[in-house]
Homo-oligomer: A and B are copies of this chain.
Amino acid sequence: MFESAEIAHKIKKSVCKAAVPALRAALLEAQVDLYEGKKMPVVLLISGQDGAGKSETINLLYEWMDPRFLSTLAFSLPSEEERERPPMWRYWRALPPKGRVGIFAGSWYSDTIRERILGNITLQEVDAHADQINRFEAMLVNEGALVLKFWFHLTRDAQKKRLKDLESDPHTAWRVTKWNWDRLKTHDKLQKVAGHFLRMTNTPWAPWVVVDGSDDCYRSLTVGQTVLSAMRARLDNPNLLGSTVAPLVRTDIDGRNVLSVLNQQLSLTQDHYENELAHWQGRLAELSRSPAFRNRAVVCAFEGSDAAGKGGAIRRVCAALDARLYQVVPIAAPTEEERAQPHLWRFWRHLPRHGHITLFDRTWYGRVLVERVEGFCKEHDWLRAYTEINDFEHELADAGTIVIKFWLQISQDEQLRRFKEREKIAFKRFKITDEDWRNREKWNAYQQAVCDMVERTSTGTAPWTLIEANDKRYARIKILRTLCERLEAELQAPPSRQTAIRPEKPEKPSKPHKGKKGKDKPQKLATEQAPGAEKPE
């Protein structure tokens, strides 16, 4: 959930200043249309890490919009009167009527998150509540509401820095209390609980918008523009009422995303590569033959741009494995038999039994990548696929299967270079240029699809690992190392309740087996998942 919010988004104050007047005008206009149309209420949830800018954002919305048609609904602990009714009673009373915008500071999510952090409820109870919330929000949307849920994210360091800054400024020092510093202690716990809870409730009809809270300008513009585009889409097209808003959510307004921040300079010398290769292939061989693996299985997914080097990487992995225990499944267009079944059917049929490994060369993510971009399936179909895929991978994890997913990313230029290199062998010059251009045209659409995929399907038990693949050697080693580290951690955990770890990266790829903790954010996926979680999330 937090991948995109972990890459330190930033927008210059000057850029922000320039953009705000037009945004304010558009928001006011949308608000007037909303009030005059009286077709739908707008429900905005403002939540997130402490100090990530919740109250600032609410103040800003009041400043930007017409306060007469806006109401803020703040909730702390329930009153006696409220405790004598069902928990949802106080939220029902506060729902904004059609034509108005209601901002919820604290919501039907707060109690569950708090109780879970305090350890008062089980993960099952959290999931049960997530299901109730999904039904409640589906009802709201079916009844015409526009529901947008904002979560402001801060890394622990950023949160600490923010508190320090507030304290140092005499105008804001009063806002920092012991309570705030205590919240800092629970940062990671909140991350983990919220990460799971948000993913369980991240529906197409009421999506979460996870926003990096560290930069005021970026946060404000992202919120403003998301609210505007979602409201505008509904107001201009009333028969969209009750349909999904997820596609309207954009958090890369500063042009930064999990792919663009990858460091494609990372590379290995030939010697270095050969040492690493020997080391990690040996390690993988051991692990795959260890007794602990006999009642586990591995499903390994390889996705990536054309010519990113999936095949080569898969061969380096297989080289370490006992040929009787693994299977490589290349995914092409579905057969007639497969087209007569649900889209996930052809992957279910290849699931490995205990002690076995299946490597998929291209995967069930085709639906949210090529099928989405090329328009092979309807928006409705690829949107529901995220949930179906998460369910699929959760079922695998619950059954003790270890799910490992790689996205191999190369730059546009590198891809062109490799195409040309290929062309020398296979095709005629004029042919590649067409395909090449065609590729360039859709490049951004594909990048967008990949970012959405990572954001929505990188889960605690099945995290994505993004591979900087401009250098094939570096890519292969990082893949082997991630495999080994993940396997190692999983095989230590009790098979009944699997836990995922985040593939850490050492300062230099040269000494991965010393397992130092790394700094470069983009590779930290599923960050909300701490080792030792009691259930796949």
Contact = CB atoms under 8 A, between A and B. Distances in A.
Interface of A: 38, 41, 81, 84-89, 92-93, 95, 97-99, 122, 124-125, 127-128, 131-132, 135-136, 139-140, 142-143, 145, 297, 337, 340-345, 348-349, 351, 353-354, 381, 384, 387-388, 391, 395-396, 398-399, 401
Contact of A342 (B38, B95, B128, B131): B95
A124 B128 contact: yes
B399 A38 contact: no
Given A99-B340, A140-B342, 19 more contacts: A81-B353, A84-B297, A84-B354, A85-B399, A86-B351, A86-B395, A86-B399, A87-B395, A92-B344, A92-B349, A97-B337, A127-B131, A128-B131, A131-B131, A135-B387, A139-B344, A139-B384, A139-B388, A139-B391
Contacts of A132: 391
A136 B391 contact: yes
Nearest to A339: B98
Contact of A384 (B93, B142, B345): B142
Nearest to A80: B353
Nearest to A351: B85
Contacts of A93: 348-349
B345 A95 contact: yes
A89 B132 CA distance: 27
Contacts of A395: 86-88
A447 B458 CA distance: 50
15 contacts: A41-B340, A85-B351, A86-B395, A86-B399, A87-B395, A93-B348, A97-B337, A97-B340, A97-B341, A99-B340, A127-B131, A128-B128, A128-B131, A135-B388, A143-B343
Contacts of A349: 92-93
A136 B345 CA distance: 12
Given A98-B340, A353-B81, A348 B139 contact: no
A402 to B, nearest CB: 13
A142 to B, nearest CB: 6
A185 to B, nearest CB: 30
A86 B125 contact: no
A221 B343 CA distance: 35
B95 A341 contact: yes
Contact of A391 (B92, B127, B135, B345): B135
Given A125-B124, A142-B384, A401 B341 contact: no
A479 B87 CA distance: 30
Contacts of A340: 38, 41, 97-99
Contacts of A337: 97
Contact of A348 (B89, B97, B398): B89
Given A99-B340, A345-B95, A391-B136, A86 B401 contact: yes
